Amino acid sequence: MIEVEHLVKSYRELKAVDDVSFQVQSGEILGFLGPNGAGKTTTMRILTGVLPPTSGKAKVCGFDVFENPIEVKKRIGYLPENPPVYTDMTARAYLRFVASIKGVPRKARESEIERVATKTSCTQFLHRVIGNLSKGQRQRVGLAQALLGDPEVLILDEPTVGLDPAQIIEVRELIKSLAGKHTIVLSTHILPEVTAICQKALIIAQGRVVAYDTLEGLQRAHAGAVTADGSPGPMPSLEEIFLKLTSL
């Protein structure tokens, strides 16, 4: 569903993304991990057609991101780290506006807005001006706009930022429920989130891929040495693996 080959993004001498390659199969949830400045957001912006690469290839649903950007954007729901909401609009007006841009048929727009608002627990404040909403409420409106039109691929950059613990659990359950029908790339700093909902993890540091495997595969690869009696060594946590790989 997503194919990335030898992706590079350079800013003069700085390589923000350095020869990144990975694939995401249909219906998978990929946890995209890395410290601040590792190149996660840059990679996601390239995948969504927001930012051109210096070199390399990226395909979404079989369409080249750079040769067929409109076809790619039709199939992607994108939630940036800072939700792209207009603070002078009500949540409902904003979702109606996004639905029109995404080409949702006029007759189906209101029912589609109700569908995504229900999924993201936005219904109780659809009538309110976005500028008066809390950060967590704005985050949920941003997630709702990403779901409009039922896209095949969801690119979510820190989707639980600003949410309280109960809302975080709700959003995690929502993302888990979307697996299978949607292919999801989830960037997050909350490592238990990846353990709870992702099938695979991609870890990058300084723009380069340092690990790409299932969570079980990562644990096996970084397990402790075999003990004297021949039993397997202790299995490390994802946090321990992340710190080991990104502190090089």
Same domain, residue pair 57 and 167: yes
pLDDT at 162: 75
Residue 226 pLDDT = 45
Q: Average pLDDT for residues 77-93, to the nearest whole number?
A: 93
What predicted TM-score, i.e. pTM, was given to this entire model?
Answer: 0.88
**Does the residue 33 lie in any domain?**
yes
Would 242 be classed as within a structural domain? Answer: no
Would 17 be classed as within a structural domain? yes
Is the distance from CB of 237 to CB of 194 less than 8 angstroms?
no
DSSP state of 87: T
Helices (H), 16-164: 40-47, 69-74, 91-101, 109-119, 135-147
**Cα 45 to Cα 124: distance, rounded to the nearest angstrom:** 31
Q: Would residue 227 count as lying in a domain?
A: no
238 domain residue, yes or no: no
Q: Is residue 128 part of a domain?
A: yes
Based on the domain organization, do 18 and 130 belong to the same domain? no
Predicted confidence (pLDDT) per residue in 24-77, tens digit: 999 999 999 988 888 998 999 999 988 989 999 999 999 999 899 899 999 999
Shared domain for 49 and 102, answered yes or no, is no
* The domain boundary residue, chosen from 151, 177, 205: 151
- Same domain as 103, residue 65: no
Both 43 and 112 in one domain: the answer is: no
If asked whether residues 157 and 145 sit together in one domain, one would say: no
CATH code, domain with 210? 3.40.50.300
CA–chain centroid gap for 89, Å, is: 25
* Mean pLDDT value across residues 158-175: 84
Same domain, 144 and 164: no
Residue 97 lies in a domain: yes
Enclosing domain of residue 59 = 1-75+153-215
Asked if the structure places residue 225 within a domain, the reply is no
Q: What is the DSSP letter of 158?
A: S
Query: Are residue 141 and residue 157 in the same domain, yes or no?
Result: no
Residue 156 identity (one-letter amino acid):
L
60 and 157 in a common domain: yes
Statement to judge: residues 177 and 201 lie in one domain: yes
CB 186 within 8 A of CB 156: yes
Same domain, 88 and 135: yes
Q: What are phi and psi of 225, to 5 degrees?
A: -65, 150
Angstrom distance (rounded) from CA 38 to CA 104: 36
Give the CA dihedral 58, 182, 219, 205, nearest 10 degrees: 40
Contacts 24+ apart (CB under 8 A), 96-105: 98/145, 98/148, 99/148, 99/149, 102/74, 102/148, 102/149, 103/74, 103/149, 104/148, 104/149
Give the chain's mean pLDDT: 89
For 94-144, the pLDDT digits (tens) are: 999 999 999 999 999 999 999 999 988 899 999 999 999 988 889 889 999
Residue 87 confidence class, pLDDT cut points 50, 70, 90: very high
Is the pLDDT at 234 greater than 80? The verdict is no
Q: Give me the percent of the chain exceeding a pLDDT of 70.
A: 96
Say whether both 127 and 139 belong to one domain.
yes
Comparing 24 with 161, the larger pLDDT belongs to 24
Domain tally for the chain? Answer: 2
Q: End of a domain among 136, 151, 166? A: 151
Tokens of 238: 């994802």
